[in-house]
Structure 1
């Protein structure tokens, strides 16, 4: 057997509305046997599914490449659908035959193709300070057999569209949050099946969203504009060759919706008595509606949607109905989640009910909302009095586990309430499990921290009056996220915004999209420059996407941004090799901070120079990947200079780091800045610091992601496991023992006596410390990609078992297929390691503490096992190379 499956174009299955003029295709292969590699492929494209009208043929290419293959030579046109198929050959002479037919369809590639006008509800009915959501509608006639129909739409604000009373998409919060001053996504929808012969009606709702609603912690709103607007084109292609185009213009009409207020932070108010039944059906009487106003707004900022949409992903049923000591009626969903509650209520017309949202209860068991600060997170619903009424919001989302009910009466049924989980619809790709249930809960919490904070942008928290795309949090967590889900489209879009927001001097803002200068803030935030570990997202994030997905294009796209950031750092210090000026977040929220301070004890200049070195080394490697030899040499020289200056500045002649913190030792070691005696002393110092702290960490945002990696890499793997299994404060499992279902912002968000860390900044869904997930996958399970084979083309499988676990398993669905690494401690001191490698990939495997002459695979000696090569004894065990297939090693 040798087959081909899962054809993708730009990571998507049969996408429509693509904006790239050079689409790339990828596929996966399946085969019997071991060590199967693709040796050649052929791609064909056509305008029809039967391939009678062939457009392009790659010919038979002798290549093992099966991901991100550019369709070079095709003349790509706007709005056109292209069908493609692939076949492949392997080294045994087998062919897959032609794959199933897949397709991709282009969006509007030229701004001149937008003939629609921006429209808004009239200011007479909807003044700028109005919070009511407007309805917009247009009727039109379809006078023939329709072959296809597409809507291209975007908004200033967020929008929902209906066609003949049916929602055109299952996506929410479109067009998403981009750097609106530079880039605005539009979406493409296939509405062919929604059209009817004769009269039709097209309509939309416009919420404030990130454009007009509240943003940030200073109470600011309308940071991008104070009027929402819609831009839309409906293209209808008829079977007879005609085309009809419906556009937003002055012929559209506007009226008020039942949504009296909808704000991302504050929730939604809905008066069901104001519903206009059939408002988006063709027969509806809109004679008393107002004319929409046309606006002069830019269209040259429009880009096709790059990331995955936000969707309803799953539903959660409540686990308990509570009566608090304060007398509140509270429902526990059992999981800290992001989204909203769908509920059913019964009541006479005009009856008002409210739902408030909170993450935790206080130590007395009362509803606690102090940590959400000024965000109201409140849903208000006014009944129309029609028996059972079911409602869910439109343009807001909440972060919560508990809901407080007001006005629902004494009889509350749990079945009337459902938690609806929303986040960017990323394919979940990773799974980690082990023999310890608390660690499994930690992994659950890491995943749910990502779910809650990857809602169109990588936010720092999803509940309080912030929810911003902090760059530091994103770069800290991105490698973990790359195990959990396919994050490539998500970060491709966000990095496009980072590049757009980058200053002319190369500086990178603290948050992306950058709203800080628009807010009423203290100077350090109102006029932000850049900061180490935060702004380094410009370099670390694209490199990580390249490593995880083999995506060379993101390096090409972001290269100028990466280079500009390194050059910015070069200009900051007393000389070109040190960064020792300006504001730094340092080791944010580290426990060795001074009382009442947020910044840890690790010297800010030390952190800044270390990250200067890290980003420069990554830029050097990026230049090598892209074949930019002059830059490669230039940044190799710069890196050598930084490393030398770092040693002179922070390492004493006897090899001791002058910064005596856990974090300083950790990043000095993991960033490769220490050698010889300095490296040896840093390892011993780190061990002593941990021992002196009863083997507990005191690291913050900078040190924590690398702490266990440093320990496992430098001979202290058992201490890394000790840290993992600690259950008292501060530790990862401390949160778990306190009932956490997501990752906390503070190690002691809930203190041991049940009181809280300061309301000022205490999110219980804040993914940064979830970066330990990278170590669980990469070290405990042992799954790692290699720079010589990015995207898991050639991977490293090197599990490092430790005390406290009997077994551990990591699974990862890569661009080539599923990878698995599982180790189990058997009886009599034996070890079993199971490995699965997908077709067209290979692995370097290290069997820890193994002896070459006693290892068996599938019951055979290694020398006799199929698919294995280069087996040899090393100081750490047995190393070998393996091709695709399933392997069972026992020793």
Structure 2
């Protein structure tokens, strides 16, 4: 059977703008596909019977235009020549592809617009915009295309049009604003209807103020909105209702919202003082459709306890560090003023800790109650917290008053990982929690004081994100934002979007900017998707050429070095030159895949030049990071370096920072030094992941000393061990030369006293799962290979008690060599014992 049909790596997307969308599917059973047949209706494309094992194809039918609504299905043929039945239908709809498709205007509250004053409206309640329209005929279909700046909430007849929140996503709002398309057919009613949009400034308009924390201030765009409701009637006619001069504006109950400092809401206020809106003539030029999952509420965590500080202040604990909203549920009389102070840690007196290096300070939300039962949370910003101090709350209110609404980009979870070792499981949990806490419309480095898209994590830790979440569409959208931030001379800044310009290395480091080269390659390797390499090839090439223009004889000297490393002796030029080499090396591979042979040759020669310069400039001895990066490049000739580093890591003497850390796990893992990595993984001494767990971390922290040091308690940049958990302990990887997990390499390690591992991840072809156990002289390995894939399975060297002569190999596995077997799709059980 054919299942999981997706368009552009999304399920039944609305409002896409790609006119040659990628159509993909998965199979059930174990048979191999030898041909496919795709039909896209109504009459848009019939591929015919195509001899191919591809399960990812580009639409090649009639030209798709704005508002095209299509359904599609696929059938496949197996190796015996038998065709499957047709799959269930999938669908996609195109959005508004041309500027002329928009007849709506950008509008705002007149008090929030003054042509000569970009700060107009600051200090005033947030604007509420409203339009009314009448439907006189039965509606068959209705689509709402809507965007806003900086954050908007849209409703039809008082009901939210979507469960997506904090819309729109980060972009350079002066160049591109993302709109969303929603099916609102079910929200409309006969007769009078109301479409409303409430606005907050978001990160697009960060105004300066004195009473609360702000990372920066400045305005890309002041609050405004645009909405276009297109209605198709049952009789075949259609109508359109749009934002324009006939809309009205009022001040809403949210009296202030600041992206960093907090939000203030007075529930007693009702919208009043309705006035004609202001139509914005200086509106953004480019509206682009949403191309990846939005931010949603993905968990609800009720407070596990109501704590009381020594001064009597109530503090609610939701049990784990999260990012999102603290929701109040109360039954109180009107007029009580509450101040909510979020944070990750408590001081010795039981109060929430806020400071500049942790969360930023002060950050707080305020709420003035209305009368009776009520529920409230901020809507136009978010916080990072575990604890919420609620000042002004009556004593009788219990723990049930506070719930954490956990937000993140709603990329589908794909991975699972569990071992027999509780500490390792806890490390996996805190890394995953930190990824969730920073997976917003961009990958941030912390959800409180920064909320910025620092780029080094996006590519250095791509695999720890991709093992656990489907980020095919999400990472493509990240790339669009990164490419927009590239300057005319080729520089890619360390953050994207570049909402503020940092100085020197904090703006220009190859291990940050190199994301524009690495991510397209990673998407190709992980998902088999060439489109990002094709789309961004010129930007990638311009960046590597920019680095070449900054280099001196192959050495690149500027940058941040091995950030947050424990050994300050690692030379900054060594780390930057490694980043330069990695970008050039990746560029050569990309050019080769795309058939740009001249470029491939040029970048291979550049790699050779950089490698020779590196070997001739930096001594083989030096810091741990220096040696690891040299080994990763293949320029180290000291045969004892690997042994020396493995011994240091096993003894807990890790000194590398976030740039060299992924390379450390990669180099030692490739060399089979899993016992050394295992000893580090299970250490609880500083520095280690176990130290963080044992000292109370519930999400990965910014520094090795975690909860015992005042830095962010929700930071995933040190999470590189997660890739070793999946690739090393579970053994889930790709065979050399494979892309998109077409051919798997299953090679689990069994270090130390580890007794079992159970892990899985979704690939483009379906779920691959590995489970192994050992004990009492027995070893069992179970492997699930999805249809469309095959696998090489390499059994670990289990010592003399579990020799090769005692292996029980399943029928159908083909022996490739010592402890190595080839298997097709299916369930495979390998056994060994006395």
Give the TM-score, by structure 1 length. Answer: 0.89
1:610 is the counterpart of 2:565? no
Map residues 74-85 of structure 1 onto 2, 5 A cutoff.
Answer: 74-85=62-73
The SS at the match of 1:88 is strand
Which of these residues, 144, 151, 162, is aligned with residue 144 of structure 2?
151
Which residue does 1:683 correspond to in 2?
Answer: 642
Map residues 370-519 of structure 1 onto 2, 5 A cutoff.
Answer: 370=355, 371-372=357-358, 374-385=360-371, 387-464=372-449, 466-517=450-501
Query: Deviation of residue 855 (structure 1)?
Result: 2.2
CA contact (8 A) 1:845 1:882 kept: yes
Which of these residues, 599, 617, 632, is aligned with residue 670 of structure 1?
632
Which residue does 1:552 correspond to in 2?
Answer: 530
Q: Distance in 2 between matches of 1:228 and 1:80?
A: 31
Residues 824 and 84 (structure 1 numbering): CA distance in 2 closer, same or farther, change over 3 Å? Answer: same
Query: Deviation of residue 125 (structure 1)?
Result: 9.2
Which residue does 2:814 correspond to in 1?
Answer: 869
Q: Distance in 1 between matches of 2:359 and 2:90?
A: 49
Which of these residues, 592, 597, 606, is aligned with residue 567 of structure 2?
592
Q: Distance in 1 between matches of 2:586 and 2:124?
A: 47
Which of these residues, 759, 768, 771, is aligned with residue 819 of structure 1?
768
CA contact (8 A) 2:175 2:285 kept: no
Which residue does 2:786 correspond to in 1?
Answer: 838
Deviations 1:20-41 (A, max 9, x none): 111111111011xx5x210000
The SS at the match of 1:673 is coil
Deviations 1:363-389 (A, max 9, x none): 55442112445444322111222x222
Which of these residues, 807, 831, 834, is aligned with residue 890 of structure 1?
831
Which residue does 1:282 correspond to in 2?
Answer: none
Which of these residues, 862, 865, 879, is aligned with residue 820 of structure 2?
879
Which residue does 2:276 correspond to in 1?
Answer: 291
Query: Deviation of residue 714 (structure 1)?
Result: 2.4
CA contact (8 A) 1:435 1:807 kept: yes
Which of these residues, 89, 99, 106, is aligned with residue 87 of structure 2?
99
Which of these residues, 139, 158, 164, is aligned with residue 157 of structure 2?
164
Q: Distance in 2 between matches of 1:74 and 1:315?
A: 45
Moved more, 807-816 or 344-353: 344-353
CA contact (8 A) 2:484 2:497 kept: no
**Runs of 4 or more consecutive aligned structure 1 residues displaced over 6 Å after TM superposition:** 215-218
Query: Deviation of residue 458 (structure 1)?
Result: 0.4
Which of these residues, 734, 753, 759, is aligned with residue 810 of structure 1?
759
Which residue does 1:748 correspond to in 2?
Answer: 705
Q: Distance in 1 between matches of 2:794 and 2:366?
A: 58
Which residue does 1:232 correspond to in 2?
Answer: 227
Which of these residues, 38, 44, 48, is aligned with residue 43 of structure 1?
38
Which residue does 1:57 correspond to in 2?
Answer: 46
The SS at the match of 1:135 is strand
1:246 is the counterpart of 2:241? yes
Q: Distance in 2 between matches of 1:689 and 1:384?
A: 61
Q: Distance in 2 between matches of 1:787 and 1:253?
A: 61
Query: Deviation of residue 250 (structure 1)?
Result: 0.7
Q: Distance in 2 between matches of 1:9 and 1:124?
A: 40
The SS at the match of 1:565 is helix
Which residue does 2:612 correspond to in 1?
Answer: 644
CA contact (8 A) 1:17 1:188 kept: yes
Query: Deviation of residue 635 (structure 1)?
Result: 1.2
1:88 is the counterpart of 2:76? yes
Which of these residues, 555, 561, 564, is aligned with residue 578 of structure 1?
555
The SS at the match of 2:100 is helix
Q: Mark the runs of 5 or more structure 1 residues left unpaired by the alignment.
A: 48-53, 277-285, 594-600, 652-656, 859-864
CA contact (8 A) 2:213 2:260 kept: no
Map residues 137-148 of structure 1 onto 2, 5 A cutoff.
Answer: 137-148=130-141
Q: Distance in 1 between matches of 2:47 and 2:54?
A: 13
Q: Distance in 1 between matches of 2:358 and 2:674?
A: 38
Q: Mark the runs of 5 or more structure 2 residues left unpaired by the alignment.
A: 115-119
Deviations 1:221-257 (A, max 9, x none): 34313x3111111111112222211111111000010
Query: Deviation of residue 104 (structure 1)?
Result: 0.3
CA contact (8 A) 1:434 1:808 kept: yes
Which residue does 2:504 correspond to in 1?
Answer: 524
Deviations 1:324-373 (A, max 9, x none): 23432111110101111221223332111121111012355442112445
Residues 214 and 128 (structure 1 numbering): CA distance in 2 closer, same or farther, change over 3 Å? Answer: closer
Which residue does 1:719 correspond to in 2?
Answer: 676
CA contact (8 A) 1:158 1:208 kept: yes
Q: Distance in 2 between matches of 1:428 and 1:373?
A: 27
Residues 186 and 610 (structure 1 numbering): CA distance in 2 closer, same or farther, change over 3 Å? Answer: same
Q: Distance in 2 between matches of 1:791 and 1:261?
A: 47
Q: Distance in 2 between matches of 1:316 and 1:342?
A: 10
Deviations 1:775-828 (A, max 9, x none): 111111111134522111112111111003111122001111110112211322
Give the TM-score, by structure 2 length. Answer: 0.95
The SS at the match of 1:620 is helix
Q: Distance in 2 between matches of 1:87 and 1:532?
A: 46
Q: Distance in 2 between matches of 1:131 and 1:306?
A: 33
Q: Distance in 1 between matches of 2:175 and 2:824?
A: 46
Query: Deviation of residue 62 (structure 1)?
Result: 0.6
Q: Distance in 2 between matches of 1:627 and 1:393?
A: 51
The SS at the match of 1:148 is strand
Q: Distance in 2 between matches of 1:339 and 1:350?
A: 26
Query: Deviation of residue 537 (structure 1)?
Result: 1.1
Q: Distance in 2 between matches of 1:375 and 1:185?
A: 31
Query: Deviation of residue 259 (structure 1)?
Result: 0.4
Q: Distance in 1 between matches of 2:707 and 2:207?
A: 28
Residues 687 and 374 (structure 1 numbering): CA distance in 2 closer, same or farther, change over 3 Å? Answer: closer
CA contact (8 A) 2:106 2:280 kept: yes
The SS at the match of 1:426 is coil
Which of these residues, 288, 300, 303, is aligned with residue 303 of structure 1?
288
Deviations 1:117-151 (A, max 9, x none): 11110028994323421110011111212111111
CA contact (8 A) 1:265 1:375 kept: no
CA contact (8 A) 1:345 1:408 kept: no
Which residue does 1:26 correspond to in 2?
Answer: 24
The SS at the match of 1:151 is strand
Residues 373 and 12 (structure 1 numbering): CA distance in 2 closer, same or farther, change over 3 Å? Answer: closer
CA contact (8 A) 1:532 1:607 kept: no
Q: Distance in 1 between matches of 2:821 and 2:309?
A: 60
CA contact (8 A) 1:317 1:333 kept: yes
CA contact (8 A) 2:122 2:207 kept: no
CA contact (8 A) 2:665 2:720 kept: no
Q: Distance in 1 between matches of 2:111 and 2:681?
A: 58
Residues 749 and 55 (structure 1 numbering): CA distance in 2 closer, same or farther, change over 3 Å? Answer: closer
The SS at the match of 2:324 is strand
Q: Distance in 2 between matches of 1:603 and 1:9?
A: 46
1:72 is the counterpart of 2:60? yes
1:783 is the counterpart of 2:729? no
CA contact (8 A) 2:456 2:511 kept: yes
Query: Deviation of residue 529 (structure 1)?
Result: 4.7
Which residue does 1:566 correspond to in 2?
Answer: 544
Deviations 1:829-877 (A, max 9, x none): x32211110001111221122665432134xxxxxx12x234212xxxx
Q: Distance in 1 between matches of 2:25 and 2:73?
A: 10
Q: Distance in 1 between matches of 2:439 and 2:124?
A: 26
Moved more, 710-719 or 800-809: 710-719
The SS at the match of 1:554 is helix
The SS at the match of 1:622 is helix
